[in-house]
Homo-oligomer: A and B are copies of this chain.
Amino acid sequence: MDDEQMPATISDVPTPSFLVDLDKVKKNAQKMTDTCERLGVQLRPHMKTHKTVELGTLMTNGTNRTIEVSTLDEAEFYAKNGFDDILYAHPLIAARTERCKNLAYKLESFHVMIENSHGLDVLLKSPLTDGKKWSVFLEVDDGSGRTGVPWDSDDVISLATMASQTPYIDFKGLYLYNGNTYKANCKEEIEDANKKGTDLLKNLYKRLTDNKIECRTLAIGNTPSCSRPHESMNVLTEFHPGNYIFYDVQQSTIGSCSRDEIACRLTTRVIGHKPSHNIFLIDCGFLALSYDGMADNPDDFSSFQDNPDLKIIGFSQEIGKVTTKSGEKLNYDRYPIGSQLFISPWHSCATACQHTVFYVHSGNKIVDMWRPTKGW
């Protein structure tokens, strides 16, 4: 919608819309800042969840420094908006060399991530000039088969050795995503996964120093890890969480946050009643909410505020079909056509990325409209 005036209240926003609770995102940001200060680690928040200037500023405590991004579009967007010390946290490939070079020259501090010899070769073949060096994180994989060089392989040492011995590369150190935290069912299981991830990084640090490789950074990623840290993580140097600014139902399910800390919602309206099928229709299709979580968590991927027995059972592009989890007959009087409902997303990153504007509210009052960057 072009030239949109700011709606007065939550009841006035067009539907479907993505709502951000300003007071809650402020709290979530402050809590993560406090956690990092207590443990003595640098917070490098990930921007991929929201992709807005405003939350970048909030998550960096007003400094606009030391952030992580998942795409070059994000890196260029934040660079253009005055941010610096940006880590492009995606395995480097040759096709992206020129855009990375431009960022390295433009910014005081731009970092890339590699996880294989292709990424290292890209840097070896494209040295920076004017006294600039490529600043490099090496991503390690704990065995889960995500990105990263296998932590227990010889490749970790050979890649780190080559990177640290190349004069025009500044080898920063290691990053571990620590994805096992997502298998947790409670806070304590996240902490256990964190202890294991931290031990893995300590072990690798020893291997690097035994091989005379200087490693200044030990970074750990993801929101559960950084939201429920194990005390041993004070030996690490950087935390890279992103989703914590909004949290979501998935995070609350694994014990990463409380339901009350979820700071975003999707708002939608009832557009039709289908008693023959015991469903009603809403103006929230797959485009507004995303399919994320539907297949694996059919009962939880669409949590309706104040209506815990509702769930979405089908989608078209702009329409969702809602029924009861219990199988009980819907009481249609509770959901008149035109009435407004609120959904807590299963995965806020996936839902937020579907929207070109976030309606920011304090209480019921809309106080701002934020526009994320899009694309690659």
Chain A residues engaging chain B, CB cutoff 8 angstroms: 1-2, 14-17, 48, 70-73, 76-77, 80, 90-91, 93-96, 99, 115-116, 118, 141, 143, 145-147, 150, 269-274, 276-277, 279, 281, 283, 286-288, 290-292, 294-295, 316-319, 321, 336-338, 349-350, 353, 355-357, 374-376
**Chain B residues within an 8 Å CB radius of A376:** 1, 14-17, 288
Structural contact, A116 and B272, CB atoms closer than 8 A:
yes
Structural contact, A90 and B271, CB atoms closer than 8 A:
yes
Q: How far is the CA of A290 from the CA of B289 in the complex (A)?
A: 12
Tell me the nearest residue of chain B to A295, going by C-beta: B295
Q: How far is the CA of A330 from the CA of B155 in the complex (A)?
A: 20
Structural contact, A14 and B95, CB atoms closer than 8 A:
yes
A318 CB to nearest chain B CB (Å): 5
Structural contact, B338 and A271, CB atoms closer than 8 A:
no
* Most chain B CB within a 10 A radius of its CB, from A146, A321, A336: A146
**Chain B residues within an 8 Å CB radius of A318:** 48, 70-71, 90
A342 CB to nearest chain B CB (Å): 15
Counting every copy of the chain, the complex holds: 2
Structural contact, A147 and B1, CB atoms closer than 8 A:
no
**Chain B residues within an 8 Å CB radius of A350:** 286-287, 317
**Chain B residues within an 8 Å CB radius of A70:** 317-318
Tell me the nearest residue of chain B to A96, going by C-beta: B14
Given A150-B276, A281-B91, A338-B118: A375 touches B356 (CB 8 Å cut-off):
yes
Q: How far is the CA of A338 from the CA of B281 in the complex (A)?
A: 44
Extra A-B contacts (18), CB below 8 Å, given A16-B376, A48-B317: A1-B375, A1-B376, A2-B76, A14-B95, A15-B376, A48-B318, A91-B272, A91-B281, A93-B270, A93-B271, A93-B337, A94-B338, A95-B269, A141-B274, A145-B274, A145-B277, A317-B350, A355-B375
Q: How far is the CA of A318 from the CA of B355 in the complex (A)?
A: 17
- Residue from B115, B147, B273, B317 in contact with A349 in the complex, judged by beta carbons closer than 8 Å: B317
Structural contact, A338 and B269, CB atoms closer than 8 A:
no
Structural contact, B1 and A118, CB atoms closer than 8 A:
no
A2 CB to nearest chain B CB (Å): 7
Tell me the nearest residue of chain B to A316, going by C-beta: B146
A65 CB to nearest chain B CB (Å): 22
**Chain B residues within an 8 Å CB radius of A355:** 375
* Most chain B CB within a 10 A radius of its CB, from A146, A150, A272: A272
Structural contact, A281 and B147, CB atoms closer than 8 A:
yes
Name 20 A/B residue pairs within 8 A (Cβ), A-sorted: A1-B76, A1-B376, A15-B95, A90-B283, A91-B271, A91-B272, A91-B281, A93-B338, A95-B269, A116-B272, A118-B337, A145-B321, A286-B290, A290-B290, A291-B294, A294-B295, A317-B349, A317-B350, A356-B374, A374-B374
A110 CB to nearest chain B CB (Å): 16
A105 CB to nearest chain B CB (Å): 16
- Residue from B95, B145, B279 in contact with A279 in the complex, judged by beta carbons closer than 8 Å: B145
**Chain B residues within an 8 Å CB radius of A273:** 116
Given A147-B281, A318-B48, A318-B90: A272 touches B115 (CB 8 Å cut-off):
yes
Tell me the nearest residue of chain B to A12, going by C-beta: B95
A192 CB to nearest chain B CB (Å): 23
